[in-house]
Amino acid sequence: MLPFLSQNGTIHQELETDCDRCGGAGQSDKWYFTGKVCFKCGGDGRMLTKRKEYTSEHEEKLRKQREKRAEKKRLAATEENQDKLIKS
Ligand SMILES: [Zn+2]
């Protein structure tokens, strides 16, 4: 598949790599009870991974979103702790 550009400038790409389950072997004696063949790649040892490459602006936006989420989580945890303190 050819890389394509989404609206926010992110490059989406599909790459073929060695299967991350069997490491490219396609099968293993470990899985003899299920027929030895790796169920992830079906025995060919290759798999497709999706890769995204962000523009620096979009990367920055994502970073801010992550920070916001982390802050929200932190606040929620603090409130929960206060709740426990009040109730106990
Ligand atoms: Zn595999």
Ligand 1: centre distance to CA 28 (Å): 9
Chain centroid to CA 50: how far?
9
Range 31-45 burial, b when 16+ CB lie within 10 A, else e: eeeeeeebeebebeb
Please give all residues whose CB falls under 5 A of ion ligand 1, grouped by chain where several chains appear.
19, 21-22, 38, 40-41
Ligand 1: centre distance to CA 46 (Å): 7
Task: Kindly report the pTM of this predicted structure.
Answer: 0.51
Q: Which residues contact 40 (CB under 8 A, 6 or more apart)?
A: 19, 20, 21, 22, 47
Ligand 1: centre distance to CA 13 (Å): 21
Ligand 1: centre distance to CA 17 (Å): 10
For the stretch 23-59, pLDDT in tens is: 999 999 999 888 999 999 999 999 999 999 999 999 9
pLDDT at 2 over 80: no
> What is the rounded average pLDDT for all residues in the chain?
91
Helices first, then strands: H and E counts in the chain: 1, 3
pLDDT at 88 over 70: no
| pLDDT at res. 1 | 60
Q: How far apart are the first and last CA of the chain?
A: 58
